[in-house]
Structure 1
Amino acid sequence: MTEQNTRLGIWLMVATTFVFSLQDGLSRHLAAEYNVLMVVMIRYWFFAAFVVALAARQAGGVRAAAATRQPLLQIFRGLLLAGEVCVMILAFTRLGLVESHAVFTSYPLLVAALSGPVLGEKVGWRRWTAIAIGFAGVLIILQPGYGVFSPLAAIPLLAAFMFALYGLLTRYAARQDTSAVSFFWTGTTGAVAMTAAGIWFWEPMTAADWGWMALLCCMGSLGHWLLIKCYEVAEASAVQPFAYLQLVFVAILGVTLFGETVRLNVAIGALVVVGAGLFTLWRQRKVGASAPSSLPPS
C-alpha cells in the first residue's frame, strides 16, 4: 500500500466521520419529534435501496450478493445492527450527542475484549491493561455517585456492546462470505426488520422534516460509500484511528446546534477512552505484523 493511498484513505475516513456526524445530528433532531422506530425504518428503506442498487452493478448482480453460505449468521448481524442504530438514536435523545458518543467510543475496547470468546483470538496483558484503563475512562464519563449508575448511562453502553459484537460477527462471516454479501444482508435484513417494527408507529411528518429525512438518508448512503472507498485504497489499521474524529465532530454539533455542554469529566474520560482505544489498535496491528515470527500476543 503506497503512502499516497494511505493519505487518501485518511482523508476519506475524515470525510466519513464528518458525514456520519451529520447523520447523527439529523437523527437526534428527527427522533426528538417522531418515534425512533419510524425514523430508523425510513432510513433503512433508503439504505436497502442503496445496497440493492450497489449489488446490481456488481458481477453476478443481486443473486450473487444474496448467495450466502451462512444465512442465519447474516440475518442475526443485520438484526443486531438495526437494533444498535435504534438504541444509539434513543441515547441521543436521552443523553445528547456528546455524552452518548463519549461512552460509545469504548466499542473498540469491547471488540478487543470479546475477540477471544467470539473469534478465538488471544489478547495479551498489554491490551487487557488498555481495556481496563479505557473502561476507567468510561467510569469518569458516567461519574457514578455512591456506586449507583443512572439507567440512562446504560443506553450508549448497550449500543457500544451491540456494535462491537456486530463488528466481530462481520469478521467471522468474512471467513466464508465476501464483504459485498455481508453488506447486502446488512441492508436488506435491517429494512425488513425495521419495517415490521416501525410501521406500527407511523405518524405524519411535516414537509420540512421530510426534507431533513431525505438529507439523513442521503448522508447515510454517502457515509457508507465513503467508508467502502476508504477501505479500498488503504489498510483498515492505518485509517481506523482517525474514526475517533467523529467524537470531535459530534461535540461541535451538540454544542452549537443543540445547546449541549462538554463537562470536564466527559472530556477527560473521553481522552482516556480514546487513548486506550488507539493503543489497542496499535497493539493489534503490531501483533498482526509479527504473527509469522510466532511472537506471543500482548
Structure 2
Amino acid sequence: MAQNGKGALLSLLAFGIYATSDALVKQLGEDYSPFQLIFFSTLFSFPLAMGMVMSDSRPGTLRPVHPGWIALRSASTVICGLSAFYAFSVLPLAQVYALAFAQPLLITLLAIPVLGEKVGLRRALAVVAGLAGVMVVLRPGSAELGLGHLAALSAAVFGAVASIIVRKVGSEERPVVLLLYPMFANLAVTSLVLPSVYIPLEAEHLGLIAIQACLGWVAGVVIIAAYKAGVAVVVAPMQYVQILFAAFYGYLLFGETIDGTTAIGAGIIIASGLYIVLREDTPGASANQPVLSTRMRPETGTAPRPYALQRILGLRTRGDFRGLAPGE
C-alpha cells in the first residue's frame, strides 16, 4: 500500500512536469509557429536520444519489423504534435486538456479493430458518455468554436492512433525504432515548412525551448519510477490531475479561468475515462487493457514514450504502461 502511494505521488510529480512543459509551449506559441517550436524542441531532444541509443548495447538495426505500422505511427505523431502545440497556443490550457482527455475513449474504440478487444456494454456506455462530455466542452453551434478546438480534437485522435499502434507492435520493435522514427519524421516535416514561418529566436526563448524539451524526458523517467513503485490502476488515474495544474498555470501566467460549461464537460470526460481504467482492471473485463497500459499524453515526438525509455534502460515495473502483460 505504501509503495502504491509512492507510485501515485511520483505520477503526480510527472504529470505536473508535463503540465509545466505544456505551459511553456503556450507561452512560446504566442510568438512562434508550432512548426518552428517542434523543430527546435526535437533538435534539442536529439543529444538525449543519442545518449539513450548508445546505451542500448543489444544487437539490431534501425529497420522496423512492421514498417507500415511504424510509418503510420510516425505520421500520426507529427500530426498530433503540431495539433497539440497549436491548440495550446490559442486555447485556454484547461480546455485543451479537457478535449485531450478524450484519448482514452478513442483508444477503447480503436482497440476493437486493431487489437480485437471485446468492449462490453459498460465500457461502451462510458465511451458514449465521455463523447457527450466532449460535445459539452465544444458547444457545437457556439461562436467560440474554432480551429484551436479542432486541433485539440485532432491531437486526441492521432494521439490515440499512435498509442494503439505501440500497443499492437511495440513489443516486437526495438525501442530505438520507437524512439527515433517519430523524431526523424518531426524534423523532416517541420524543416520543409520552417523557412516560410521562421522568426529569429531570442536567447531567452531558445533557452525555454531547451527546457521544454528536457522536461518531457524528465517526466518520462519519473513516470517509469511511478510504475516501478505502484500498480497501473493506482498510477494511471493520476494523469487527470493535469487539468488542475493547467488551471493553476492558466490563471497564474495567462489570466485564464475555467468556465462552467468546460468544467462540466471535463468532469464527464474524466469520470468516463476513470471508469474505463477501473473497469479494465477488473478480472475478465478486458483482454488487452488498452487504456490502463497506455500513457495519456499527446504523442508529439519531441520526447520519448516512457515505454521506450523503460526498455532502453532495461528497467522493470510493477505494472506495464504500454502493452506487455506484467512480467512479460
Q: Tell me if TM exceeds 0.5.
A: yes
- The structure 2 residue matched to 1:33, chosen from 27, 31, 36, is 31
> What is the rounded CA distance, in whole Å, between the counterparts of 1:65 and 1:221 in structure 2?
24
> What is the rounded CA distance, in whole Å, between the counterparts of 2:133 and 2:213 in structure 1?
33
Letter in 1 for 2:94: V
Deviations 1:143-162 (A, max 9, x none): 23489954542221111111
Letter in 1 for 2:28: L
Paired residues of 1:37 and 1:86 also in contact (CA < 8 A): yes
Deviations 1:211-269 (A, max 9, x none): 22222122122122223333444443331110111111111111111111210111111
- The structure 2 residue matched to 1:212, chosen from 203, 208, 212, is 208
> What is the rounded CA distance, in whole Å, between the counterparts of 2:82 and 2:286 in structure 1?
39
- The structure 2 residue matched to 1:171, chosen from 167, 172, 184, is 167
Question: 3-state SS of the aligned residue for 2:274?
Answer: helix
- The number of residues matched between the two structures is 288
Paired residues of 1:144 and 1:150 also in contact (CA < 8 A): no
Deviates more, 1:9-18 or 1:138-147: 138-147
- The structure 2 residue matched to 1:57, chosen from 55, 58, 75, is 55
Paired residues of 1:48 and 1:188 also in contact (CA < 8 A): no
Determine whether 1:226 maps to 2:228. Answer: no
Question: 3-state SS of the aligned residue for 2:282?
Answer: helix
How many Å apart are 1:94 and its aligned residue? 2.1
Determine whether 1:84 maps to 2:92. Answer: no
Determine whether 1:107 maps to 2:103. Answer: yes
Change (3 A) 1:288 1:218: farther
- The structure 1 residue matched to 2:135, chosen from 135, 139, 156, is 139
Determine whether 1:253 maps to 2:272. Answer: no
1:14-29 to 2 correspondence within 5 Å?
Answer: 14-29=12-27
1:184-223 to 2 correspondence within 5 Å?
Answer: 184-223=180-219
Paired residues of 1:106 and 1:134 also in contact (CA < 8 A): yes
Name the structure where helix makes up a greater proportion of residues: 1
- The structure 1 residue matched to 2:155, chosen from 129, 152, 159, is 159
Deviations 1:89-131 (A, max 9, x none): 1112222212111111111111111110222111111001001
> What is the rounded CA distance, in whole Å, between the counterparts of 1:146 and 1:255 in structure 2?
24
> What is the rounded CA distance, in whole Å, between the counterparts of 1:23 and 1:15 in structure 2?
13
1:296 is matched with which residue? none
1:294 is matched with which residue? none
> What is the rounded CA distance, in whole Å, between the counterparts of 2:93 and 2:108 in structure 1?
25
Change (3 A) 1:98 1:35: same
> What is the rounded CA distance, in whole Å, between the counterparts of 1:17 and 1:209 in structure 2?
23
Letter in 1 for 2:24: L
Deviations 1:180-203 (A, max 9, x none): 542343334433443344354332
Paired residues of 1:104 and 1:157 also in contact (CA < 8 A): yes
> What is the rounded CA distance, in whole Å, between the counterparts of 1:199 and 1:232 in structure 2?
44
> What is the rounded CA distance, in whole Å, between the counterparts of 2:219 and 2:141 in structure 1?
38
1:295 is matched with which residue? none
Paired residues of 2:29 and 2:89 also in contact (CA < 8 A): yes
Deviates more, 1:160-169 or 1:42-51: 42-51
Letter in 2 for 1:252: F
Identity in percent: 26
- The structure 2 residue matched to 1:285, chosen from 281, 286, 301, is 281
How many Å apart are 1:68 and its aligned residue? 3.0
How many Å apart are 1:289 and its aligned residue? 7.1
1:265 is matched with which residue? 261
Which residues of structure 2 form unaligned runs of 5+?
288-328
2:89 is matched with which residue? 93
Letter in 1 for 2:97: H
Paired residues of 2:25 and 2:89 also in contact (CA < 8 A): no
Letter in 2 for 1:186: P
Change (3 A) 1:146 1:230: closer
> What is the rounded CA distance, in whole Å, between the counterparts of 2:111 and 2:236 in structure 1?
17
Change (3 A) 1:99 1:4: same
Higher normalized contact order (CA 8 Å, seq sep 6+, divided by chain length): 1
> What is the rounded CA distance, in whole Å, between the counterparts of 1:65 and 1:160 in structure 2?
31
How many Å apart are 1:67 and its aligned residue? 5.0
How many Å apart are 1:277 and its aligned residue? 0.3
